[in-house]
Amino acid sequence: MKRKIITIDEEKCNGCGICVEACHEGAIGMVDGKAKLLRDDYCDGLGDCLPTCPTNAISFEEREALAYNEDEVKINMIAKAIAKKGGGCPGSSAKTIAHDDKDKLPCGCPGTQSKSFTRQSEDNCQVVEKAKSRLQQWPVQIQLVPVNAPYFNNAKLLVAADCAAYAYGNFHEEYIKNHITVIGCPKLDSVDYAEKLTAIIKNNSIKSVTVVRMEVPCCQGIERAVVKALQDSGKFIPWNVVTITTDGQILD
């Protein structure tokens, strides 16, 4: 939708941070020493921040932007208030996860490597390699991921139905590996993912989008949301869809 929203001139911004405190919706934050509009849907367009800026770096503009989301703002401000008091839920904090692909042995001796065993009989056992997590970031729920999280820059985006990782055994290695992952269930979540996904794609340099969905009809919702997000973003990004059956097979 087209509406009035603030814009910040980075060249005029002196990094004082006064506007951040003046914004009652948490729409403005400091990034690399400059004030930045973090989310369009947090800005109500009333401009409480304008008169506080000592360098007149903030002004209004009319452009395509997400609608003001009062419910999301309330949740965000409550979370900020809790965090300011030293509390808050650490599970919702954005972070990047690094994995070491090398198996480190304490003394270089293969005999000291940790292994798991599946006992087939008293005289016969099979070595089972421990599967590694390939998740590169947190959180993963579509509704929780910050639109401007740094891990989205130059990312290969995986948008997956949350059941897919349970149905397909090699999900981490084949799909999560080397991707930034967001998950959701269009049947259980009473929201339209398209709006959030549009913001992620529009505000970041996404290299590609892979959709992994289940064969069940309700999973069409997550595919439709991605298609709409790609269209609304105005960007031409390579994308593909993988469909998994309930017994863990990939449909051709």
Residue predicted with more confidence, 74 or 222: 222
Residue 114 clears pLDDT 70, i.e. is over it: no
SS3 letters for 165-187?
HHHCCCHHHHHHCCCEEEEECCC
Q: For 47-95, how does the pLDDT look when each residue is reduced to its tens digit (9 = 90+)?
A: 889 888 999 999 999 999 999 998 888 887 776 665 555 555 556 667 7
Given this model, what pLDDT does residue 131 score?
A: 82
Edge-to-edge strand order for the sheet containing 180-184?
180-184, 155-161, 206-214, 239-244, 250-251
Q: What angle do CA 83, 200, 43 make, to 5 degrees?
A: 60
pTM equals 0.57
pLDDT of res. 122: 52
